[in-house]
Chains A and B, each alone.
Chain A
Amino acid sequence: MSDHEYTPKSKAGKWFNDRLPLLTLANHLTDYPTPKNLNYWWTFGGILTFCLITQIVTGLVLAMHYIAHADMAFESVEHIMRDVNYGWLIRYIHANGASMFFLAVYIHIFRSLFYGSYKSPREIIWIIGIIIYLLMMAAAFMGYVLPWGQMSFWGATVITNLFSAIPLVGEGVVTWLWGGYSVDNPTLTRFFTLHYLIPFLILGLVVLHIWALHVPGNNNPVGIDVKKPSKDTVPFHPYIVIKDGFALLMFMIVFAFFVFYAPNILGHADNYIEANPLVTPAHIVPEWYLLPFYAILRSVPDKLLGVVAMLSAILILAVLPWLDTSKIRSAVFRPLYKQFYWILVADVLILGYVGAMPAEGLYLLIARVATAYYFLHFLVILPVLGLKERTIPLPLSITEPVLGGSPNMAMAKKKESKIE
């Protein structure tokens, strides 16, 4: 794993390391050569690790007080909020932590889209990332069901009913998922079990994600390969550790703002009403981080095709490395891709907005156009663009544009001639 042989200094360290090379691993993580031009968009990997640990720790504590039973779940959450010492704080951190987790993961994904981090040789890192993202959505959805409020119950009903769209076996699958003929106690207990399990699956995948990352090393804003270790790289510690740490502090300020000043702003008031299988809330909306996909689901008038469109919207990301035909990674050198990138960002934001609105009239029309564009971007624009686009010449090394003052070589050249 390491680029050079490592021998612990102390005799005891050497004895231990010969038997279990943990110190070699620690040394690799410390010295890991990192491109020196990484910007702040690269700090979200560390932030996401923090988010995962936060969710696991707060979740563990909540599980000590929560009761997974249809008759008691809602009350036990109120018990946590009112009676348990600091229960309100722990629950608000956990609930808002999920939103912060998704905020960070979306920035992380869109950073990858901008700088082409999913391209060869990093396809496996990317695919593991998409699996983690899918598991995050599953965990978040099931976690939202646990308080057994109105949104919990009806969200669970709607999402599990998506499986009824499967031809022939759909109804059987849904009954199997529920453990009954509707969302009820058996559903709640299994959701609790899975909600507890998934974070640890994610943790395992994060290890693989980082392992796969450490084989080729980080991509960087210029998107060209770096020789490592060389003058293009700096050791992970202390350089990246400090930078990640600073970004994490900034992120925690945002996190703390939500926890202490607006703990319920990202939730839905209806979830403070206990689940009632006889009354559907007037307007069912999922949590904000699922809204773009919800908009895609609703924009298709056919049940099965709607579900297929929604799943495809996520799974299409897994084959992205092969849909994007351009060999150039960074959007900095792809003037057209850069514009389409920002259109895609706007498109997803629009989908998120209309996902929160009623599915009728103008909103429905906008959702349909935005859905069509989403697929157009991945299935048509990206493959064609890679073949047609005239890219800007790449610099020879990541040091060159840094010294020239611009990531664009032509600009750097211009500056150089001015200096001369």
Chain B
Amino acid sequence: MSDKKPERRDFLFTATYAVGAVGAAAVVWPLVDQMNPDASVKALASTEVDVSSLKPGNTITVLWRGKPVFIRRRTQEEIDVARSVKMEDLIHPEKDEDRAKNPEWLVMLGVCTHLGCVPLNDKGDYDGWFCPCHGSHYDTSGRIRKGPAPWNMEVPKYEFVNANTIKIG
């Protein structure tokens, strides 16, 4: 093979294989992509929540894109604790100021970043959240402090439409 000069036939074979491979890939792609979120799933992009009834120290859980979102109205004490933590003590360093623009309101996906369970309120070694599945502890800012989860609980895009309504997404 190696000492022979490529012939016209070798070129034809290679060209045929290449066209065949491109064709096969073009056919396979729709079969793969059909499994991605469809238009109807993507359409459920945002949700509005009335938070007027929430007292300090209370949390409500709402469903957004099939996932729970925690909305917590934090007490002053919780805010102080969350803001006084040193960055070097954090597994995934994020300032509380960046996570909760309005310090009284913490809005985040109630999904443990380990394997997706819903952590429990007011539990754990840091008085924030505790994931019962594999023992991840989160602080009052929803930041991971102890356990197998790699990241802090995610803060979704949200905004206050008015004083009593939060729009998530």
Contacts and interface: CB of A to CB of B under 8 A. Distances in A.
Interface stretch (A73-81, A181-189, A334-342): A181-189
Given A278-B68, A302-B148, A284 B117 contact: yes
B112 to A, nearest CB: 8
Interface in B65-86: 65-68
Contacts of A182: 65-67
A117 B44 CA distance: 55
Interface stretch (B21-29, B33-41, B158-166): B33-41
Given A158-B117, A181-B65, A176 B148 contact: no
Contacts of A175: 36-37
Contacts of A195: none
Interface string A144-175: 00000000001001101110100000000001
Interface residues of B, number: 28
Given A162-B115, A180-B65, A277-B63, A306 B133 contact: no
What DSSP secondary structure best describes chain B's contact surface? loop
A33 to B, nearest CB: 44
Contacts of A283: 132
A284 B135 CA distance: 11
Interface string A299-328: 011111010000000000000000000000
A305 to B, nearest CB: 10
A10 B38 CA distance: 61
A179 B35 contact: yes
Given A181-B41, A182-B67, A298-B134, A280 B118 contact: yes
Nearest to A284: B133
Contacts of B68: 277-278
B36 A158 contact: no
A360 interface: yes
Interface residues of A, number: 37
Contacts of A177: 35
Contact of A181 (B37, B115, B117, B134): B37
Chain A binding surface, main DSSP class: loop
Contact of B63 (A179, A183, A278, A302): A278
A303 B114 CA distance: 7
A362 interface: no
A278 B61 contact: yes
Contact of A303 (B118, B132, B135, B149): B149
A360 B131 CA distance: 13
A282 interface: yes
B148 A186 contact: no
Contacts of B63: 277-278
A137 B147 CA distance: 27
Contacts of A164: 115-116
Nearest to A160: B116
Contacts of A358: 135
A190 B66 contact: no
Contacts of B135: 358-360
Nearest to B114: A303
Please indicate which of the listed interface residues A157, A178, A358, A360 has the most CB atoms of chain B within 10 Å of its own CB: A157
A252 to B, nearest CB: 37
Interface in B126-164: 131-135, 147-150
A250 interface: no
B116 A157 contact: yes
Contacts of B67: 181-182, 277
A265 interface: no
Contacts of B115: 157-158, 161-162, 164, 303
A302 B117 CA distance: 17
A279 interface: yes
Interface in A263-310: 277-284, 298, 300-304, 306
A131 to B, nearest CB: 22
Residue in A181, A298, A301 with the greatest tally of chain B CB atoms within 10 Å: A181
A307 to B, nearest CB: 9
Given A179-B36, A181-B37, A181-B66, A154 B148 contact: no
Contacts of B118: 278-280
Contact of B148 (A160, A181, A183, A301): A301
Interface of A: 154, 157-158, 160-162, 164, 175-184, 186, 190, 277-284, 298, 300-304, 306, 358-360
Given A161-B116, A278-B118, A280-B132, 10 more contacts: A158-B116, A158-B117, A161-B115, A175-B36, A181-B41, A183-B66, A186-B37, A280-B118, A303-B114, A303-B148
16 contacts: A157-B116, A158-B117, A160-B116, A164-B116, A179-B38, A181-B37, A181-B65, A184-B66, A190-B35, A277-B63, A280-B120, A282-B132, A284-B132, A284-B133, A301-B148, A358-B135
Q: Which 6 A-B pairs have the closest CB atoms?
A: A182-B66, A181-B65, A161-B116, A161-B115, A280-B118, A280-B117
Interface of B: 32, 35-38, 41, 61, 63, 65-68, 114-120, 131-135, 147-150
